[in-house]
Chain A
Amino acid sequence: MYRNWWSFVSYAASAVSSAGQWLYTLTDATSAASDIARSIGGVFASWDPIGLSQLFSAARRIAGIGQTIGQAGEETVTATLNIPEAPWSRPVDEQVANPAWQARTSVTYINEIGEQVTEYFVVGIEQALPPTVGSLKSQVSTGIEQMLTGQQENGTPRRGQLVSVDNIELMSI
């Protein structure tokens, strides 16, 4: 269930209108999933409403933290954020021993051929979160910029110039 449907649920739970409102509800997602199961079949033929609602809830929490971080003041302490756990997180004892987070960021940058593009990057955070939302945004931005403009040590998959970090979805793993 999780393996096949996460991508769909993640999209449905995080889509927002131009006004910043969630575009789809769990009911919409359930209805669409039912259609997909009937029309496409294959690995999507099997699904269950309870599993889908759990996935939708997890995906909405991840999307929600992105909005929270986007709207939070620079001085907001990250420890006060209700950071969701990623469905793919590590076992609890491993999380306790070595805390880690993934920040799924939507980034706008100018690529090698001069186009302005918006793509996703994942930034890792280990042991401790930056203390405030402002420092989190600043460090994420610096990390991505360094990656885009850094020396081509054995090559880098992407190169370009950072324009903006548009969204940071933070989750514990």
Chain B
Amino acid sequence: MSTRSGDAAAFDAKGAHYLKPTKAGTTPGTVMFLSAVAERAPAQGADSAAGVVWEAVCHYRRHRRYAGEVVEQAGCGGAELAARLDAWASTAEAAWCYAYDTVSVLNATSLAEELTGLGWELSRQFGTSSRAMWVVLHKGKRTKTRTDRTGADGEPAQRITWSHTLTICDAQALNIIPGGDVAAVKADAHALAAPVLTLMDWWDREGLGRWSVTGAALGWTSYRASLKPKQVVIDHDPELIAYERKAVYGGRRDVAVVGTPGAPQYAEMDFEGAYPTIAAECPLPCAYGGEIDVTHLDPKHYHNPSVGIIAEVTVATGEARWPCRIEGKVFYPVGVFRTTLAGPDLAEAWDKGAIVEVHAAHWYRMSRHMGSWGAWVKDLIASGPDVLPDPVRRAAKHWSRAVIGKFAQRGWSTRPWVGPPCDGWTIEETPILGKAHRVVTVGLDGVYFLSEADQRGDHERPAVLAFVEAHVRTRLSRLISGPYGHAVVQWDTDGVIVSLPRLGALAVDQGFTRSQYGREVPDLDRLVDHWCNLSYPLVIRQKTVMDRIVLYGPQHVVADSLVKLAGVPRGAVLVRPGVYRADVRPRLGRTGPDDPAGIGPVRTAEFTINGPYAAGWVLEDGIVRPPETVLGDDGINRLVPWAETRWAIGGDVLGPLQALWAAGLYRPPPTPATRPPRVVVEADEHGDILEADPCFALP
């Protein structure tokens, strides 16, 4: 291998820093827990918060005067609640208040508005997600004049400090409360306190550092606690970050067939702790090396564990195995396409002779910087309930999915903003013309802040996520495309659903049999062991066995023991065939004081599922064929219309219903098939990459 110009990196060195190990810190000393329910509908014109029955408990975990004390109070009305929380929070420099479903509680109690009346002010620290929000309030502003330096105006510099800080956050964001306990923790502040305090106590015992508002942030802190100084370099060059990001695709997911795939039974299998296992066992990028002169690229470096390569290549393949982007969506096509792949995918493509041309390649230094953390998280997940409390194990499971994604997460900047006078709080997306990133405005009592996801994160190294995804993807692909592929009917990132009769037949064909009462029967245990060897270091396990299953798409699976419906809220209930009913909150915030609707109430909605949502062509018999691509002279990937695909030419007959991605690429039947409206699509838990989710738009 030779670099283009000695050791010089192709991307400008616009600065870099080492990812810092976690500094010392602890969990909050004063923690409050809150539950609130609207006892009765308020009379017209009456204050809606007045009828709210609440219960609050304050744990002084570490406190100069009240350490160890637990105080509680119940009452009615938002004003009384705010007064109580204000009294508790005002005894400490920093207090935290947990609720389950913060939006709902703030909405029902008008807590933020009431606290504003008691002198609390909105800070620039806030955040939202699809399910949860958090906000930090300040009270007791003090301006300190510094004697050691002067400001730009020549006057002594001033520093603003606050006597008290109150962080209102959502226990949902910790991902430690099982679905069956949600009703209990919503209604009982003590039930809410138990898992959160358990996790906090354990966190302190482990000495993991500063507490955070979300589970993902806690997991990230725990990873940084395992780092040694100068282990991982975070580059500042936005072009380099963008290049790495091109190799991040999310998990591979699709179905082999739409409908019911043959006779029962079916088994759900997955790689046990796929991401933390890769983190524990495989070297991952830790620093950018430089550009490789592709004319002298030695293919053996694709397998070099000390050198990680991300390359832009043209692939020609008859096997749907490698991802590419077409108009912003991710596909796994056959044909010829240009794409950016990370090391494991590159090595596999090279070995199979699929790489036609390498256009650009960059190399990375590799190390096992996530090794100890990955092994630690795996141990936590595997620990029994007698060894580790359940909330900790649930938290670890969440971290195992979320932490590696943080390497590709963008940073946010927040600045003061202006808006109309306002009583109460507002939270709203605020598109800014010409900016593609997300912008959110939060206001409380007429004080506004604007937050943009436009910053280089101080943790951005998307190459790490790209390599982890590629490692898992290559192992998943070995199962899908191997001799047992006929049995695999659905796959999603790190798991598959197999048809057990088909798998049994294939096992017999491949010699995985055992003797039972004198006759040879399939030995699936031995076959799964064989799969584990193929997938090393990942270990595959069988999770559930199902008698009935209907596949609409990779994220839309309905079975007797599994209901997986992307876009349909958790807890959805089947009310009619193909129709689910669930609670949704159409609006999280309001646009401002002129918006009479206020914060949206929870509504019940019906979601119709009939698909198909496959990321390939659905044939008449339900079989799914991968899309085919062609590379234009302009270097842009294009999907081939159905009639020109190898499948159509080979005599396959297209089914009447196709996923939305195929619109315009085939001739639909004269009578259009009915398709229900669907809007919501769940985000990929591993990143922010547009998937080829075919159910993204309304009809």
Chain A: residues with CB nearer than 8 A to chain B?
2-4, 6-7, 10-11, 86-90, 102, 110-115, 117, 119-126, 130, 139-140, 143-144, 146-147, 149-161, 173
Contact partner of A120 (CB less than 8 A), chosen from B441, B584, B591, B683, is B591
A101 CA to B584 CA, complexed, in Å:
33
Contacts A88-B421, A124-B431, A124-B439 aside, 10 further interface pairs with beta carbons under 8 A come to A7-B594, A10-B594, A86-B418, A88-B418, A130-B433, A151-B689, A152-B682, A154-B688, A155-B683, A158-B587
State whether B421 touches A2 (Cβ < 8 A).
Answer: yes
State whether A114 touches B431 (Cβ < 8 A).
Answer: no
| Residue from the set A4, A112, A161 with the largest chain B CB neighbour count within 10 Å | A112
Nearest CB in chain A: distance from B482 CB, A: 32
Q: Is B605 an interface residue (CB 8 A)?
A: yes
Chain B: residues with CB nearer than 8 A to chain A?
127-131, 418-421, 427-434, 436, 438-441, 446, 450, 453, 584, 586-589, 591-595, 597, 603, 605, 677, 679-683, 688-690, 696-698
Contacts of A152 in B (CB 8 A): 130, 680-683
A144 CA to B446 CA, complexed, in Å:
24
State whether B431 touches A160 (Cβ < 8 A).
Answer: no
| A114-B677, A125-B433, A151-B683 as given contacts; A158 in contact with B697, CB under 8 Å | no
State whether B587 touches A157 (Cβ < 8 A).
Answer: yes
State whether A161 touches B418 (Cβ < 8 A).
Answer: no
Chain B, Cβ-Cβ closest to A11: B594
A89 CA to B431 CA, complexed, in Å:
18
| A7-B421, A122-B428, A123-B432 as given contacts; A110 in contact with B453, CB under 8 Å | no
| Residue from the set A2, A113, A114, A115 with the largest chain B CB neighbour count within 10 Å | A113
Contact partner of A122 (CB less than 8 A), chosen from B427, B592, B688, is B592
State whether A156 touches B429 (Cβ < 8 A).
Answer: yes
A152 CA to B440 CA, complexed, in Å:
13
A90 CA to B416 CA, complexed, in Å:
10
A3 CA to B427 CA, complexed, in Å:
19
State whether B429 touches A147 (Cβ < 8 A).
Answer: yes
A3 CA to B588 CA, complexed, in Å:
24
A140 CA to B418 CA, complexed, in Å:
19
Contacts of A161 in B (CB 8 A): 679, 697-698
State whether A160 touches B593 (Cβ < 8 A).
Answer: no
Contact partner of A154 (CB less than 8 A), chosen from B418, B450, B683, B697, is B683
State whether B446 touches A3 (Cβ < 8 A).
Answer: yes
A153 CA to B683 CA, complexed, in Å:
6
Contact partner of B591 (CB less than 8 A), chosen from A111, A121, A150, A151, is A121
| Residue from the set A6, A88, A125, A154 with the largest chain B CB neighbour count within 10 Å | A154
State whether B591 touches A140 (Cβ < 8 A).
Answer: no
State whether B131 touches A159 (Cβ < 8 A).
Answer: no
| A124-B431, A154-B129 as given contacts; A10 in contact with B420, CB under 8 Å | yes
A86 CA to B587 CA, complexed, in Å:
26
A150 CA to B436 CA, complexed, in Å:
10
A121 CA to B588 CA, complexed, in Å:
13
State whether A121 touches B131 (Cβ < 8 A).
Answer: no
State whether A119 touches B130 (Cβ < 8 A).
Answer: no
Contacts of A122 in B (CB 8 A): 419, 428, 430, 441, 591-592
A28 CA to B594 CA, complexed, in Å:
19
A157 CA to B430 CA, complexed, in Å:
11
Contact partner of B588 (CB less than 8 A), chosen from A125, A153, A157, is A157
A122 CA to B587 CA, complexed, in Å:
15
Contacts of B129 in A (CB 8 A): 154-155
A66 CA to B421 CA, complexed, in Å:
20
Contacts of B436 in A (CB 8 A): 146
State whether B433 touches A140 (Cβ < 8 A).
Answer: yes
A115 CA to B420 CA, complexed, in Å:
28
| A112-B586, A149-B697 as given contacts; A125 in contact with B591, CB under 8 Å | no
Chain A, Cβ-Cβ closest to B432: A124
A102 CA to B586 CA, complexed, in Å:
24
Contacts of A121 in B (CB 8 A): 428-431, 591
State whether B594 touches A112 (Cβ < 8 A).
Answer: no
A3 CA to B128 CA, complexed, in Å:
27
Nearest CB in chain B: distance from A173 CB, A: 5
4 shortest interchain CB distances as A-B pairs: A155-B130, A143-B431, A157-B588, A113-B605
Chain B, Cβ-Cβ closest to A115: B586
State whether A157 touches B592 (Cβ < 8 A).
Answer: no
Nearest CB in chain B: distance from A120 CB, A: 4
Chain B, Cβ-Cβ closest to A121: B591
A114 CA to B606 CA, complexed, in Å:
9
| A121-B591, A155-B129 as given contacts; A6 in contact with B431, CB under 8 Å | no
A22 CA to B593 CA, complexed, in Å:
21
Nearest CB in chain A: distance from B514 CB, A: 47
Contacts of A111 in B (CB 8 A): 586-587
A83 CA to B670 CA, complexed, in Å:
51
Contacts of B441 in A (CB 8 A): 122
A48 CA to B336 CA, complexed, in Å:
74
Nearest CB in chain B: distance from A124 CB, A: 4
Chain B, Cβ-Cβ closest to A157: B588
Nearest CB in chain A: distance from B675 CB, A: 13
Contact partner of B679 (CB less than 8 A), chosen from A124, A140, A159, is A159
State whether A124 touches B433 (Cβ < 8 A).
Answer: yes
Chain A, Cβ-Cβ closest to B676: A114
| A88-B418, A121-B428, A124-B433 as given contacts; A160 in contact with B679, CB under 8 Å | yes
A113 CA to B601 CA, complexed, in Å:
13
